[in-house]
Amino acid sequence: MIEIKDLRKSFGDKVVIDDVSAVMEAGKANLIIGASGSGKTVFMKCLVGLFEPDGGEILYSGKSFTTMEEEERKELRQQIGMLFQGAALFDSQTVEQNVMFPLDMFTRLTYTEKLKKVNEVLDRVNLKDANKKFPAEISGGMKKRVGIARAIVLNPKYLFCDEPNSGLDPQTSLVIDKLIYEVTKEFNMTTVINTHDMNSVMEIGDHIIYMYKGEKEWEGSNKQIIYSNSKKLNDFIFASEFLQDVKAMRMVEAEGKVSNAKNDSQ
């Protein structure tokens, strides 16, 4: 579980994160949504300590991350997996070596065991036959998936994904969402995902935070998002007419269920 209290961050006099508080629970997919430039990446980087926040507190399972000693942070980070928006693969290493790197560094497994584990996760992200390729030789979407594989290979306690499915086709995107969701449940991870993919929001949004210009504008679950009356949120999520129609249909459907339930109980 990660608790965030009054987090603030500015660059110069530009306030990027403005007093955001939230609780990211374990075993749930915690989604941060918001327009491009709303501060999602900066928020995530503050959480993991790549940016020092100007104010506020971050607690990992009750322990204050903000005041932690460097050594203690290092230990905590060994339980963190992170996918960067640009994948951040080591470009002098092959796909296989990239995914194996955390295993090399932090486990005492034999090479065969490591290789088995690597192939397992690469398989889970739908990436076979790319083992020996270098990052420069694979597509953007493939890089993302290698990044995810590298982030989850050690079954971290905390998983951060910065736009895991931007640049992926809808089908692979679903596979990735499902994978992240599965490992979250399976290992009771605290997962934080930045996204603007509406499919993800609807499919895996256990807990959603909508950021608007650095502020938390709305918070709730994918069940609640349809009924929200925040205009900013509605404009953001249901931007196209198509999605507005979907929303209307869902609402009718849900009301139908409610009235059905009423009828049943009568």
Ligand X SMILES: Nc1ncnc2c1ncn2[C@@H]1O[C@H](COP(=O)(O)OP(=O)(O)OP(=O)(O)O)[C@@H](O)[C@H]1O
What are the residues binding ligand X (CB under 6 A)? 11, 16, 34, 36-42, 85
Q: Whose Cβ is closer to other proteins: residue 129's or residue 136's?
A: 136
Among 7, 17, 38, 41, which residue interacts with Mg ion (rule: CB under 5 A)?
41
Q: Whose Cβ is closer to other proteins: residue 90's or residue 227's?
A: 90
Using CB distances below 5 to 8 A depending on partner kind, what does residue 80 bind out of other proteins, ligand X, Mg ion, none? other proteins
Q: What are phi and psi of 179, to 5 degrees?
A: -60, -50
Can you say how many angstroms the Cα of residue 56 is from the centroid of all Cα atoms in its chain?
Answer: 22
Where does the chain have alpha helices with state H? 40-48, 70-77, 95-106, 111-124, 140-152, 170-186, 198-204, 222-225, 231-237, 241-265
Interatomic CA distance for residues 151 and 160, integer angstroms: 8
Among 11, 64, 75, 235, which residue interacts with other proteins (rule: CB under 8 A)?
75
Question: Residue 50 CB, nearest distance to other proteins (Å)?
Answer: 5
Residue 141 interacting with other proteins (CB under 8 A) = no
Question: Residue 115 CB, nearest distance to other proteins (Å)?
Answer: 17
Q: Across the chain, how many H-helices and E-strands are there?
A: 10, 10
Q: Which residue is nearest to Mg ion (CB)?
A: 41
Task: Tokens for 185, please give them.
Answer: 């449940």
Residue 89 interacting with other proteins (CB under 8 A) = yes
Name 191's Cβ contacts closer than 8 Å, sequence gap at least 6.
28, 29, 30, 158, 159, 160, 161, 180, 184
Residue 76 interacting with other proteins (CB under 8 A) = yes
The residue ranges that bind other proteins (CB under 8 A) are 45, 48, 50, 73-78, 80-82, 84, 86, 88-91, 101-102, 104-106
Q: Tell me which residues touch Mg ion (CB under 5 A).
A: 40-41, 85
